Amino acid sequence: MSAKRIFTISLLLFVIASLAWLGVKEVRHSRAVKAAQEVPSPPPAPTVQPALPVPATIASPAPREVKAPPRPVRASTPTAPAAKNPAPGSSGALSTAPAMPAPVIPLPPASAKSKVIVYYLHTTVRCANCLRIEAYAASAVTGGFSGPLAEGRLEWKVLNVDEPPNAHYVQDYQLFTKSVVVSEVKDGKEVRWKRLDKVWDLLGDQQAFERYVKDEVKAYLGDT
């Protein structure tokens, strides 16, 4: 084989090898580009803006007090002269005499801590004698002791023991019929009592009846 032919063959082989190498290199480049396109790109980092300076707070000026303009002074109407003798305790400018103290008004007497109560205790059903006992006893108490009654040292009460609030008097005073009872109360508590049973015996004599009741009430009032 001649040298020329050998050179030609060698050149062809070199060209073929170069083309093959370029083809392999192109395939690798295509694969690399494709792989790079499939990988997601990371999100862009947030942009940090510099903080703006906070403006200083401007204090509002304190409200000023607005004063009303002075009102015009009007001429006052002349008034009548003050009385020469003002009421006690007043400070009249024209009076030169010292003020007299106000008169002391006496208060009503305070209720006594000890008092006497005269009861007439009856039932719902009442006969003529029962009504007479009430009338005689009321005349003796209200007609003979107006002073102690007004002072609160004596009380006159008529109660029906058939009513529930008054039923206890039957046991308290051991009642067996309509009765007049004298009771003494000190500081709100009963300290003694007496049932005037003779009123039934004295029904025929009103004066004796009233005298009997008055004597018993006087005895209790005298002790109080």
Paired tokens of 97 = 């005499």
Task: Indicate the Cα dihedral angle 79, 83, 84, 88, nearest 10°.
Answer: -140
Are the C-beta atoms of residues 29 and 23 closer than 8 Å to each other? no
Q: Quick one: pLDDT at residue 101?
A: 54
In angstroms, the CA 63 to CA 60 distance is: 9
pLDDT given for residue 134 in this prediction: 97
Mean pLDDT of successive 10-residue stretches along the chain, which has 224 residues: 78 82 76 65 55 47 50 50 47 47 48 84 95 97 94 96 97 96 95 96 96 97 75
Query: What is the pLDDT at residue 149?
Result: 95
Tokens found for residue 115? 């008092």
Give the pLDDT score at 145.
96
| pLDDT on residue 19 | 79
Q: Give the per-residue pLDDT at 15.
A: 81
Q: Which domains does the chain have, with CATH numbers?
A: 114-223 (3.40.30.10)
* Amino acid 165: pLDDT: 97
φ/ψ of 210, rounded to 5, equals: -70, -35
